[in-house]
């Protein structure tokens, strides 16, 4: 199926079911809307799943792993070989997000969407479009066709997970150098100067940050990305992980699954997906705001308010995973709290 057809077939969430969910919340023995954003999370889930009493019992953290040629510019504290090693660790279930998922009833699905090498671990899905991207400081990251292929791989990944019974997705990434590519994408989108939106990523020195800003500035000068064309931006100054996650967000909307946005790289991908199909945003949850300088700017562009501000900037889907227990608690109350009549409490009324 072509991307244009998929975008055309994405349907809005069911607002009638959302109203039914609000009605149930308001019948429960507690102050009206007392759980705030947690109530909104359940109502959104009702609209996504077309069910006023939704479940999300089988969850997947989808990690898009890819390498970025811009690492050659000294923009990262570590070398590109770390990308493959972390994906191997994910296969062994010993990375940060894997440890978190031990108590979240969630499976980590590591996907090689474009590492420099093929993954060896059998738990890693080898779907590489190409082995790493070009160095954006001197050339495009990839061709437009390769970008489109990576987006489609993301969509197909969601389709496969849906077939396997997964009913909630968390997006994550692993790719040394990807705070450089995501910052370059942000500059292209908003016309920002690289110095204003570029952070230290995984602990860069001041000299490393200077190299990172310089690489982004050169990438924009060399490639001239079109601010209104997501595929043009990704292919010229982005990365395969960004393209793959963009596909995951579109796939979640197409297959009617809730999808959690993680940090900066994930939120940039979500924004690209929303540009390609505004309706896709209805399936997204803004979980936390990255500590990277442009974290709040991207969320504002999406029109979404994160649930959690914790200063996190680790990636791997960890920030989104940290919010999953809040949704579980919200569902716990939604299903477990008695209504006013059963609790022998007079019902609250909405005030005008």
Positions marked active-site: 316
Helix (H, G, I), strand (E, B) or coil at 273: helix
For residue 272, give both structure tokens.
């690209």
> Could you write out the DSSP letters of every residue in 54-95?
----SEEEEEEEE--GGGGGS-SSS-THHHHHHHHHHHTT-S
Rounded Cα distance, 37 and 35, in Å? 6
Closest CA to 334 of 56, 18, 38, 105: 38
List helix spans (H) across the chain. 3-9, 15-27, 37-49, 81-91, 96-101, 144-163, 178-190, 194-197, 206-223, 230-237, 240-254, 264-276, 295-302, 318-336, 340-343
- Per the CB < 8 A criterion, the answer to whether 79 and 47 are in contact is no
The whole-angstrom separation of Cα 167 and Cα 225 is: 36
Of 283, 249, 274, nearest in space to 54 by CA: 283
Query: CA–CA distance from 17 to each of 30, 32, 327 (Å)?
Result: 21, 19, 18
Q: How many CB atoms lie within 10 A of CB 318?
A: 23
List the structure tokens of 331.
């569902």
Q: Which residues pair with 169 in a beta bridge?
A: 60, 259
Please return the burial class of 210, using the count of CB atoms within 10 Å of its CB with bins 0-12, 13-18 and 19+: middle
């Amino acid at each position: 199926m072509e991307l244009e057809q998929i975008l055309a077939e994405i349907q809005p969430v069911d607002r009638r079911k959302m109203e039914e969910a609000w009605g149930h919340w308001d019948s429960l023995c507690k102050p009206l809307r007392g759980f705030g954003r947690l109530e909104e999370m359940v109502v959104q889930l009702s609209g996504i799943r077309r069910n006023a009493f939704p479940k999300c019992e089988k969850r997947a953290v989808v990690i898009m792993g890819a390498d970025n040629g811009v690492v050659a510019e000294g923009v990262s504290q570590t070398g590109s070989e770390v990308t493959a090693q972390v994906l191997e660790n994910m296969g062994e279930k010993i990375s940060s997000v894997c440890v978190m998922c031990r108590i979240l009833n969630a499976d980590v699905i590591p996907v090689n969407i474009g590492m420099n090498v093929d993954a060896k671990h059998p738990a890693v899905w080898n779907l590489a479009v190409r082995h790493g991207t070009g160095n954006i400081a001197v050339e495009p990251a990839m061709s437009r066709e390769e970008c489109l292929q990576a987006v489609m791989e993301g969509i197909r990944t969601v389709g496969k997970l849906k077939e396997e019974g997964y009913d909630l997705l968390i997006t994550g990434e692993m790719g040394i150098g990807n705070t450089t590519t995501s910052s370059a994408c942000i500059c292209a989108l908003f016309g920002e100067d690289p110095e204003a939106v570029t952070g230290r990523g995984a602990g860069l020195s001041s000299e490393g940050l200077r190299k990172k800003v310089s690489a982004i500035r050169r990438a924009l000068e060399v490639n001239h990305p079109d601010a209104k064309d997501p595929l043009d931006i990704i292919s010229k100054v982005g990365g395969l992980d960004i393209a793959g996650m963009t596909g995951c967000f579109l796939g979640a909307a197409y297959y009617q699954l809730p999808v959690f946005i993680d940090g900066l790289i994930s939120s940039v991908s979500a924004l690209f997906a929303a540009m390609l199909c505004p309706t896709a945003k209805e399936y997204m949850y803004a979980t936390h705001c990255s500590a990277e300088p442009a974290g709040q700017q991207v969320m504002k562009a999406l029109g979404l308010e994160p649930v959690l501000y914790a200063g996190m900037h680790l990636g791997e889907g960890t920030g989104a995973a940290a919010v999953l227990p809040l949704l579980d608690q919200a569902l716990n109350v939604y299903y477990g709290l008695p209504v006013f009549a059963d609790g022998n409490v007079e019902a609250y009324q909405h005030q005008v």
